[in-house]
Structure 1
Amino acid sequence: MYCGFGHADSGFVPIFIYAIFGSSRQISIGPAALTSLLVSNVLGKIVDSSDALYTELAIVLTLMVGILECIMGLLRLGWLIRFISHSVISGFTTASAIVIGLSQAKYFLGYEIDRSSEIVPIIKSIISGADKFSWPPFVMGSIILAILQTMKHLGKSRKHLKFLRAMGPLTAVILGTSSAKIYHPSSITLVGDIPQGLPSFSIPKGFKHAKSLIPTTLVITGVAILESVGIAKALAAKNGYELDSNQELFGLGAANVLGSFFSAYPTTGSFSRSAVNHENGAKTGLAGVITGIVMCCALLFLTPVFEYIPLVDYEEAIFLWRVGKKDFLLWTITAITTLFFGIEIGVLIGVGFSLAFVIHESANPHIAVLGRLPGTTVYRNIQQYPEAYTYNGIVIVRIDSPIYFANTSYIKDRLREYEIVVDKLTRRGPQVGRIYFVVLEMSPVTYIDTGAVQALKELHHEYKSRHIQIAISNPNRNVLLMLSKSGVVELIGKEWYFVRVHDAVQVCLQHVERIKEDHMASGSDSSPEETESSLFKSLLKQRGEDSSVAELESGTNNKPSDLKHSDPLSEPLLFQKS
């Protein structure tokens, strides 16, 4: 886009608007390379960049992006950002940095390069134009780059020279501008003339093309969310305050909407400028206001000087590979698709895979078999605590997620698996040949739907046919209310709902002990299946005495149970006395 129409204005008006409506104290908003590349690629396919319609469409695009961001903020849709993985953001920004860097190489190499959001056409253009290579811009660019890197390194490695890191870009601009002003090198491209003065108020035009800009509006809004809110959240965490995602969206939207009336084009948060703000100790939104005032002064008095300005995360990937292979895969998919298919496709595919991973995790929740830690009444995951032991005839399962229609099938499959696969080495208690009780620890379950209710009913009937009783431990109030309204409480039996896992286990142990005793005492006239069925049904009609833990664990208890002396802590959840 023409430098004087949009770039400067985007850095002036929206800054003041965001300072009023935004929530981040350090973020610096304005024109960003990524959104500029998107605008250029899309509008370049519709109209030539030298045409006045090009500018009009850019301003209309700004208005559309702002309206969408405001709507998202007002409808409190900031939660949608949570579904965008850090790996997607990292892969996207890494690939975008490569594309942006290569697209700017024309000022470094001294010849034109095709504009594209894909890496292959850019590389082909660089190779095909190699015979036009010019030394002066390359030498100047190399010197300025060396200065930037040296000052950045010194500022980062030595505390007393920290100011050099922020001074690097300004030093580079001063040296480059001075050289161009003094020597007038013909082979070095300059910014050119920038209109002097403040932007004037004007109503956006070119709305007849608005329909064709809708897809781009969605993509740029998504990129703005990825960039701005991502940066703002990171800076908020570093500076110890909470960021309101919805207010952030509205602030960005208001900045774009009002900015469009002053010839601005899509504005978003800037990685580099926000980092400079943070490193120089910005603590409030006043930093943005001061930036706006400086921009105002520059537009009024310094634009003639700008005419002579010359135009010139592998570590994250290694970290993700070392910490989480799935996150590394997501990073790789996003980076590759962004590089080879363009920024728009890269964003959509990255977010799509991120959502697919979220859905997969939700549909396949973590489920743990619990065992008792020696010397305590605490039950923990036997995979995490190998010393924890389980009991013969009882399997204790913890479901670590809400239960709803998408994961009920997976949960039922795992419960069947745990019923069959029994680790004999860690089991204690009366010696019995199979599982009689399944204890479901439901404290992590925050929500269940009608699909989960139906699954529990089916599971109950399936277990009942095999003489297995379900016991439920510590469901929260909403879950218990749902189970009660749907009839599951009555179906399973009120006496099988407990406050603690330990309460449920003690009651189940008493029944397992009685099953063993009665099976040994019964005659051999009936088949084992008939004997087992009649014993199980009769035992479920009564509640035995809470035998001592030591006797039940060793399997040596020979005393008959007595309901009159049951442990009050083992009473069911729904029968607790105040």
Structure 2
Amino acid sequence: MGSTILAIIQTMKFLGKSRKHLRFLRAMGPLTAVVLGTTFVKIYHPSSITLVGDIPQGLPSFSIPKSFQYAKSLISTAVLITGVAILESVGIAKALAAKNGYELDSNQELFGLGVANIFGSFFSAYPTTGSFSRSAVNHESGAKTGLSGIISGTIMCCALLFLTPLFEYIPQCALAAIVISAVITLVDYEEAIFLWRVDKKDFLLWTITTTTTLFLGIEIGVLVGVGVSLAFVIHESANPHIAVLGRLPGTTVYRNIQQYPEAYTYNGIVIVRIDAPIYFANISYIKDRLREYEVVGDKSTKRGPEVERIYFVILELAPVTYIDASAVQALKDLHQEYKSRDIQIAISNPNQEVLLTLSKAGVVEMIGKEWYFVRVHDAVQVCLQHVQTMSPKASDPSHEKSSFFQRIMKQRREDISVSELESGNSQMRSDSTQDDPQLEPLLSRRS
């Protein structure tokens, strides 16, 4: 019986959409389903069909709670219901807004829900939410504005006052057919295909939410969907994208070597860009990746003086909008770890907030003001100068006797072009008395 009524509703909906002179059939579908189902039950009295049953006549009376002894035990339930109500209401509102091409004001929706629940509580009403099924039925009936809610509410009050005896014989399968017919239009199959093509993770989230909703209900489906989505967000946040940068030939631009295979790196230097805020949840992952890049290196073309290992790690912090105390402490530990292995950190292009945090924590002084740069290219030029002194071709007994940090902490006096350094055969010039203005650090040293 339910399938027959559903077929009738869908046929009337199709005729109403395809033929202008039969447009009225689209709105009459739900009413026709109820009338046909009730008439069939009234005539044949089938025992296998479940009916709505007796509904008390009248409206609940106004009342004010006189005792709050159950308030404490209801807090957890109220919080859960509130969360589900917000998710369900905003979810169906966004779906209808996207379907009809208008902007949704979530604050206005939540304000309306709050007012409705406050007034409804004085009449022993159920919690008010934006129901998927009722909203879909309302939309399929042709409703366009909030006036439809006032009209349907008025009709509902009149029905509860005078028509409840007629509802006793309405079959539940007829009501289910109305809901199914309305909800079908909200399922966007093209969106699922789009998600499959664009992002498999979003498609997986869509599949989990849809399956859970079908078998366990809307409330559970929404909660599971939100939970899985939060899990994805946490995973992405704790495992941020980190890229090893290389220089594009003929430019001073440095880009991800995975995205630009033609980009080349330099011997003894690794340039790393962190594409996320740095905080306690992802600092361990970042440190692990830095150690991996130091040991494993990369497969891109390397240029510059030939050295046996990494001496400089340049951190490109332009995408980093925030760094917390845990990350600052981890950065200090990383600096000490690198220092024990004769590796120097250089910082490139940190924003004002990040730079202020590092300064307050003493990281700027620890690493050295001269190792903060405006551009990655500036940092690379300086590091190349120091790598040149460590190359076997430029080494001498005096260099071997001095320690690594004693050599690199000397004031920069040389002005060696990058083209010369890339060859690995240039000699240090001692007659240069002026620093290259392009090599000026981000934080100038004060006397």
**Structure 2 length normalisation: TM-score?**
0.79
Worse-superposed segment, 277-286 or 170-179:
277-286
Change (3 A) 1:506 1:477: same
Report the equivalent of 2:376.
501
The letter of the residue matching 1:232 is: A
CA offsets, 1:277-317, max 9 Å, x none?
A: 55677665444344434444555665555444321179688
Question: Residue 244 in 1 paired to residue 103 in 2?
Answer: no
SS at match of 1:575: coil
Question: Residue 513 in 1 paired to residue 397 in 2?
Answer: no
SS at match of 1:387: coil
Q: Distance in 1 between matches of 2:141 and 2:416?
A: 69
Q: Distance in 1 between matches of 2:141 and 2:250?
A: 55
How far did 1:395 drift?
0.8
Change (3 A) 1:166 1:446: farther
Worse-superposed segment, 411-420 or 194-203:
194-203
Q: Distance in 2 between matches of 1:205 and 1:310?
A: 39
Report the equivalent of 1:262.
123
Report the equivalent of 2:266.
391
Q: Distance in 1 between matches of 2:267 and 2:71?
A: 70
Equivalent residue in structure 1 for 2:409, among 540, 543, 546:
540
Higher relative contact order (CA 8 A, sep 6+): 1
SS at match of 1:472: strand
Checking the alignment, whether the CA contact within 8 Å between 2:413 and 2:435 is kept in structure 1 is: yes
Checking the alignment, whether the CA contact within 8 Å between 2:320 and 2:350 is kept in structure 1 is: yes
SS at match of 1:220: helix
Question: Residue 374 in 1 paired to residue 249 in 2?
Answer: yes
Question: Residue 144 in 1 paired to residue 19 in 2?
Answer: no
Report the equivalent of 2:176.
none
Q: Distance in 1 between matches of 2:168 and 2:112?
A: 32
Checking the alignment, whether the CA contact within 8 Å between 1:371 and 1:396 is kept in structure 2 is: yes
CA offsets, 1:230-268, max 9 Å, x none?
A: 2233444553535335x5444323322311222321221
Q: CA RMSD in A?
A: 4.0
Change (3 A) 1:252 1:545: farther
Change (3 A) 1:279 1:447: farther
Higher percent of residues as helix: 1
Q: Distance in 2 between matches of 1:336 and 1:503?
A: 54
The letter of the residue matching 1:224 is: A
Question: Residue 473 in 1 paired to residue 333 in 2?
Answer: no
Equivalent residue in structure 2 for 1:185, among 45, 51, 66:
45
Q: Distance in 2 between matches of 1:370 and 1:513?
A: 20
Change (3 A) 1:302 1:562: farther
Q: Distance in 1 between matches of 2:335 and 2:370?
A: 15
SS at match of 2:245: strand
Question: Residue 229 in 1 paired to residue 104 in 2?
Answer: no
The letter of the residue matching 2:278 is: I
How far did 1:484 drift?
0.6
Question: Residue 555 in 1 paired to residue 415 in 2?
Answer: no
How far did 1:470 drift?
0.8
Report the equivalent of 2:307.
432
What is the identity percentage for the equivalent residue pairs of Structure 1 and Structure 2? 76
CA offsets, 1:185-235, max 9 Å, x none?
A: 353444345556555423358865555544443433332233112223344
Q: Distance in 2 between matches of 1:511 and 1:278?
A: 71
How far did 1:422 drift?
1.9
Structure 2: unaligned runs, 5 residues or longer = 174-186
Change (3 A) 1:449 1:432: same
Change (3 A) 1:387 1:304: farther
How far did 1:447 drift?
1.6
Report the equivalent of 1:58.
none
Q: Distance in 2 between matches of 1:284 and 1:407?
A: 47
Checking the alignment, whether the CA contact within 8 Å between 2:117 and 2:128 is kept in structure 1 is: yes
SS at match of 2:243: strand
Checking the alignment, whether the CA contact within 8 Å between 1:511 and 1:544 is kept in structure 2 is: no
The letter of the residue matching 1:560 is: R
Q: Distance in 2 between matches of 1:435 and 1:272?
A: 62
Change (3 A) 1:296 1:438: same
Report the equivalent of 1:86.
none
Checking the alignment, whether the CA contact within 8 Å between 2:342 and 2:404 is kept in structure 1 is: no
Change (3 A) 1:449 1:261: same
Matching of residues 481-500 of structure 1 within 5 Å: 481-500=356-375
Worse-superposed segment, 219-228 or 410-419:
219-228
Q: Distance in 1 between matches of 2:360 and 2:228?
A: 38
Checking the alignment, whether the CA contact within 8 Å between 2:247 and 2:263 is kept in structure 1 is: yes
Report the equivalent of 2:339.
464
Aligned residues: 429
Q: Distance in 2 between matches of 1:271 and 1:358?
A: 26
Q: Distance in 2 between matches of 1:274 and 1:342?
A: 16
Report the equivalent of 2:288.
413
Q: Distance in 2 between matches of 1:545 and 1:283?
A: 74
How far did 1:433 drift?
2.2
Checking the alignment, whether the CA contact within 8 Å between 1:335 and 1:346 is kept in structure 2 is: yes
How far did 1:542 drift?
2.1
Checking the alignment, whether the CA contact within 8 Å between 1:467 and 1:533 is kept in structure 2 is: no
Checking the alignment, whether the CA contact within 8 Å between 1:190 and 1:307 is kept in structure 2 is: yes
Q: Distance in 1 between matches of 2:369 and 2:132?
A: 58
Report the equivalent of 2:183.
none
Q: Distance in 2 between matches of 1:555 and 1:417?
A: 26
Q: Distance in 1 between matches of 2:102 and 2:343?
A: 52
Checking the alignment, whether the CA contact within 8 Å between 1:497 and 1:572 is kept in structure 2 is: yes
Change (3 A) 1:243 1:190: same
How far did 1:381 drift?
1.9
How far did 1:331 drift?
6.2
The letter of the residue matching 1:241 is: E
CA offsets, 1:116-154, max 9 Å, x none?
A: xxxxxxxxxxxxxxxxxxxxxxxx322102123444566
How far did 1:440 drift?
0.6
Question: Residue 572 in 1 paired to residue 447 in 2?
Answer: no
How far did 1:554 drift?
3.5
Report the equivalent of 1:171.
32
Equivalent residue in structure 1 for 2:63, among 202, 211, 224:
202
Question: Residue 358 in 1 paired to residue 233 in 2?
Answer: yes
Q: Distance in 2 between matches of 1:568 and 1:281?
A: 70
CA offsets, 1:489-515, max 9 Å, x none?
A: 111111111122222222222332343
The letter of the residue matching 2:106 is: D
CA offsets, 1:444-502, max 9 Å, x none?
A: 22221221111111111221222221111121211111111111111111111112222
SS at match of 1:483: helix
Report the equivalent of 2:323.
448
Structure 1: unaligned runs, 5 residues or longer = 1-139
Q: Distance in 2 between matches of 1:283 and 1:533?
A: 81
